[in-house]
Structure 1
């Protein structure tokens, strides 16, 4: 068994009961072909949570500094992370992300680029739009809703794949595409909150 599979199994055993994780819409993630899962970002625990709830193995970017430590760097590579230099346009990371998609694999992105301390959605960076426009990947929006407090419910929702043809054929900017993705994530959150509040009545 690969290190990724081992890590995923261990984390799942701990996280699912600890955070009472509920998963919705896993069937919206295609079984084959390149996929980009784009999620909101509320905690440093988001990558492993998306990793254990997605039906497919996911490759994530991680801070380049983490790979400077030999043992940690090898561990991160083993669990499908690859380095990105934050605060600048990292061409190597962009090429690596596109190569992953060219191989028909799944790339996990947090369009906001950094965690939201309030839980509210932040402004999307252009990176997610870049990968969406420069690849043929299916874009699946994802919303993480709740808090990471032990034994409090945490919900992960995978939305229906987005149709990016308009943005690809009209030569839209990467920022426009990223904004559209964030809009879909926001809809997932609002629809869930509306549904949840109606059940409480």
Structure 2
């Protein structure tokens, strides 16, 4: 990366020969850039990303979002559209990047996971790679347009099937159990990064 120092841990956990869903935490506008910069190209070229509406706020942003195979996700105003896109991506046996919190954390702490991805994975079982991104909030704090030369580390967790997440998690419905277990899996590397969760 040109503006900040990005490194990856756990790249051996990235499957290169099958469909996968990456599920990163979200604290900065830099998160998608850091993540996609560190995913191997042969995996990235099969990847679609669900991004919040600011990525499509104007024609310039939308142009580059489309080049990155991104589609709009708005969990508040139009939740059904993003869920339909995500479901269709998995139905077509393509891979997906999905930010389960639905928006950037205001505090920097891991926020609640919305049920959308749990719904998609309950309907389209798939291999999941939990991802934790550390350092992007320092490199580009909320409200800042400047990128600071700070270290960013992307932790790729061990892949796990959505069916196993469903068995591990707590909740009455499959989507609740998937979401619960997934949040625990994403939080684990945060502890390794020394970030309080």
What interval of TM-score do these two structures reach, taking the shorter chain for normalisation?
0.7 to 0.9
How many residues of Structure 1 are paired with residues of Structure 2 in the alignment?
Answer: 179
Q: Which moved more, 1:171-180 or 1:48-57?
A: 171-180
TM-score by length of structure 2 reads 0.78
Structural RMSD (CA) = 2.6
TM-score scaled by length of structure 1: 0.77
CA distance in structure 2 between the partners assigned to 1:68 and 1:153 by the alignment: 28
Query: Superposed, which structure 2 residues align to 1:45-194 within 5 Å?
Result: 45-55=30-40, 56-57=43-44, 58-64=47-53, 67=56, 69-88=58-77, 90-146=79-135, 147-148=138-139, 150-168=148-166, 172-193=173-194
Structure 2 distance, partners of 1:80, 1:145, is 24
Q: Which has the higher helix share?
A: 1
Residue 96 of structure 2 aligns to a residue whose secondary structure is strand
Deviation by residue 1:32-80 (Cα, 9 ceiling, x = unmatched): 2221100111101111211111122132223447647445434322221
Distance (whole Å) between structure 1 residues aligned to residue 108 and residue 25 of structure 2? 9
Structure of larger gyration radius: 1
Q: Distance in 2 between matches of 1:189 and 1:133?
A: 26
Kept in 2: contact 1:37–1:139 (CA 8 A) = yes
Look up the match of 2:4: 19
Give the 3-state SS of the residue equivalent to 1:104 in structure 2: coil
Q: Unmatched 5+ residue regions in structure 1?
A: 1-11, 195-201
Gaps of 5+ in 2: 141-147
